[in-house]
Structures are given as structure tokens and as C-alpha cells.
Amino acid sequence: MYFDVASRYTSPAMALSGHFWTVYPTLKHTLAPARAPEAGPWSTTVPDADLGTVTLTGALRDHPGSDTCLVVVHGLGGAIDGFYNVQAARAAERLGMSCLRLALRGADRLGEDFYHAGLVDDLTAALQSPALARYRHLLLIGYSLGGHMVLRWALTPSDARVRALVAMCAPLVLGETSASLDRPAARPYRAAVLLGLKQIYASVAARRTVPTDLAEVLRVRTLRQWDHLTVVPRFGFDSVDDYYARMSVGPWLADLKRPALIVHSEHDPMIPLATYEHLTTGDLPLVTWSRPTCGGHVAFPQDVDLRLSGLARRAGEDAETQSIRWMLQQC
């Protein structure tokens, strides 16, 4: 049985479609990688109370003549060359704007540090970096955990140039999401996420002292275990539940200071809509919801229509292009 957005049971065929659109784009990109527009290396530093400074890296496509830059934030255990990051960069290029694909601390596998779902310092530092100083407008798009992070940033925005943001398939309630991904049925997805996280942690362990012995972390099999052994001791949370409660953005969506588009497939098998549906009925003046009946986790068919009010989909537009055009309307 499968839960959908309206709290009804839906067919196994629709659930299978969600799995397909979650797996197929990654597999396709692995076998025949799509190329992002030519970009140069980007870096900046972010202050850290424990480490002094942490270096952030990324790839910046500085589009000639553009006064707008799209900042793309990857998901948990991800990297800037993931298929969805490339799709966002290509959409920005088609619309004639610049694009920064930001690697959160450690995501470049260089061992500087690792991150958590509410650590907005990296995003703040990226927006304040000299390389982005010339842009009049900044737009944010985050995928999965990256979507959660851009929403957290919008609770206390630090840059007036950011006029709008998009969260794709974001885990709005961290505890519910963790529990969902730790189910036996989600094991393949959980294993893929943990593989990326362990790569990041191993890189840090090779460079400096880490809060938990690497061998113990490599044996982790659930996200809750990961958070208990790594995030909690590194960032000073009292417990895993304390981390989830303090960092989850879902309960605070009414306090967003920037217009936010939250896109989430009804059949996302990694972050089911049921994990946060109870939060969607309140007065959320700056939130626009889009819930396509097709697609999976952070991936949608080319012909998906996000059905955004006042924004007619143009022929051939993918989810990223529609999302960026929505943000441009808010500027």
C-alpha cells in the first residue's frame, strides 16, 4: 500500500513510476553524463567556531552580461556534478543567467569538514563571496537537503539580492524523513545516501581528528546512526532528536522572509509527502506549492507542468526552467 498527498492509497503502478523517476536519471547520468555549461573553479571561506575557517568550493559559470546568478545547492551526500545540478545549470544557461553550483563543506571530498541540514553558514558565505558581488539578483534552488537548507536560510535572510528560492523535494521535517528513509523498504536509497556521506567523512578523517572513529562510522546502516555519531558530536547538539527538532524548517514556514516555491512529486519514494503534509494547511503567505503527479525524488519528466499560477509552461520547458522563471517573476 502506498500513501499519496491526499492521504489516499494509490496504485502500485504510480508508486513504481516514482521509483523509476528516482533511479533512471541518476543511472542515465552515470552511464552518459550530461555536461554542464563551461564553468570555472570557485572558492571562498566561511568562519567556523571550531576550525577557524573552512574552504568552500564550487563551479561558477559567469554568463557575459548577466546581472542574475542562480545558486544551486545539492542534496545529502551529493556533489556539484549530480544530474540535477547539471540540469539547473543548463536551465540557467538557456535563460541567459550565471550559475554557481555550490559544494557544501566537504562535498568536494577534500576533507575540510562535513555539514548538516540546518547549517546555513556555507550558503551565507557563498552569497557574500567576491565572485558574486557584481550580481544585482541572486536566485536559490536547492535539491532535497539543499532545499531544506535554502528554506532555513530564508528564515533569517542575509542578502537582500535574493528575491526568491525553490526547494525541490525537500525534507521539511527531519525526524519524519529520517524515520522514513530508515525503513527496510528504503534500504537502496539509504545506502546510496550513506555512501556519499561516508566518502565525505573518510576524507575528513584522513586530514584531521573526527568526533567518532572512522571504522565505527563506516559500519553505520541508518541515517539516525549517522546523525548520532557525526552531526550531534561535531555540532554540539544534545541528541539526534534535539538536532531534528531545532533544525527542521517545516514548523517555521510561516516565518519565511522570501517567496518560496516548494516542488514535490506526489510519488517521491525517498521523502513521502506524508512526512510533512500536516504542515501544509496553515497560513503560509510566502509559500507556493507544486505537487506534480509524475516524477520521483528530485527528478521529473521533461514535459512536467508545475502548474504555477500566472506562469504558463512553454513548450519544452523542464521543471528547472519553470522554477527559475517563477523566481524571476518575484524580482
pLDDT in tens, 62-114: 999 999 999 999 999 999 999 999 999 999 999 999 999 999 999 999 999 99
pLDDT at position 108: 98
CATH of domain 2-330: 3.40.50.1820
pLDDT at 5 over 60: no
pLDDT at position 4: 34
pLDDT at position 331: 81
**Contacts by 111-115 with C-beta closer than 8 Å and gap 24+?**
111/203, 111/204, 111/205, 111/206, 111/207, 111/208, 112/51, 112/54, 112/55, 112/56, 112/204, 112/207, 113/48, 113/51, 113/54, 113/204, 114/197, 114/200, 114/201, 114/204, 114/230, 114/234
Averaged over 252-256, what is the pLDDT? 97
Percent with pLDDT over 90 in the chain? 92
Dmax (CA) for the chain in angstroms is 53
pLDDT at 156 over 90: yes
pLDDT at 10 over 80: no
Q: Which three cell numbers stand for residue 12?
A: 502500485
Averaged over 226-240, what is the pLDDT? 98
Say which residue, 45 or 15, is predicted with more confidence.
45
Q: Per-residue b/e over 112-140, b at no fewer than 16 CB within 10 Å? A: bbbbbbbbbbbbbbbbebebbeebebbbb
Phi, psi (deg, nearest 5) at residue 108: -80, 0
Q: Name the band, by pLDDT with cuts 50, 70 and 90, for residue 11.
A: low
Averaged over 310-318, what is the pLDDT? 91
